[in-house]
Structure 1
Amino acid sequence: MGMSLVCMFLGPILMYVSFSNQEKTLYIPLLILSLLICVLAIYLAFIGLKTIMDSMFYKASN
């Protein structure tokens, strides 16, 4: 969940930086990187929430 939180802030910040510098040569790679970080944040959040929910509601079978 901590890495998801970092990615939730880092992705949009990088996206803002890339959109504000569209005339630079690193516009496209930075935009792709920021989109990947945003997708990674969503993935890590789902994995973290699934882990928390499984630990709370897991029923051990005998």
Structure 2
Amino acid sequence: MLSPIKTELVCESLFKSMGTNKELLSKGIKYLAGALPLLFIGPSLIYNAFMNQQNAWHYLVLAIGIIACLAAMFLLYLGLKTIMKSLFND
């Protein structure tokens, strides 16, 4: 069994070796910040397209809304993947 002193040394050495890559972390946060407005704009555009079906621009607005939603999901994926990579040094 490890003594408390050895346990502290092991924990300290583990945490010192687990450094966070700050550049990758900030890049991941930027991806998430880019996804945040798209998370609101996309569904709003889709709702607007379905409420204005009599308009000639209905399909264009719907397509833009769907693209915005897909872009938001992609940016969320990239952001979370980048943050995990920065935290766990893969």
TM-score of the superposed pair, with normalisation by structure 1: 0.92
**Alignment-mate amino acid for residue 73 of structure 2:** I
The answer for the alignment partner of 1:19 in structure 2 is 50
Cα deviation, 1:13-54, whole Å, max 9, x if unaligned, reads: 011111000000000000000000000000000000001000
Aligned-residue CA RMSD in angstroms?
Answer: 0.8
Structure 1: which 4+ aligned runs deviate by more than 2 Å? none
TM-score of the superposed pair, with normalisation by structure 2: 0.64
Output aligned runs, 1:1-62, within 5 Å.
1-58=32-89
Structure 1 gaps, min length 5:
none
Aligned length: 59
Structure 2 gaps, min length 5:
1-31
Q: Whose Rg is larger? A: 2
Q: Offset of 1:56 from its aligned partner?
A: 0.2
